[in-house]
Amino acid sequence: MTRNAIGFSAIVLGMILFSFAAHLGTQMRRDVNKVSPSTADNLLRNFYETFSPKRVRREYARLFPLRAKRKILWVNVSTCAGLFFFIAGIFLIS
């Protein structure tokens, strides 16, 4: 395998891991919004508070204590690994 092929494979792996983390984050946000919707009276006024990742993780840990640590860990690990592989792939290609 050439260096460019390895770099391209690392970039693709990083993108897959990023999409996995985004999917898990979306699942968490959807579960939180079902059980405990945001207290924002106007969606446009408090837009960031409604979709804040910090709020979603805090509420998810409060509502689902048994599976929260595992899911938050998977989101963090897959995000960091995806970032690592994506940057490593860029350095390998260039």
Number of domains in the chain: 1
Enumerate residue ranges in the chain where pLDDT < 50: none
d(CA 27, CA 34): 11
Largest CA distance in the chain: 56
Q: Minimal CA–CA distance to 80: which of 5, 20, 2?
A: 20
Instruction: Give the domain extent around 73.
Output: 3-93
Query: pTM (2 decimals)?
Result: 0.81
pLDDT of residue 16: 96
Burial grade of 17 (CB within 10 A; 0-12, 13-18, 19 or more)? buried
pLDDT of residue 51: 75
Please report, for the chain, how many H helices and E strands are present, in that order: 4, 0
pLDDT of residue 90: 94
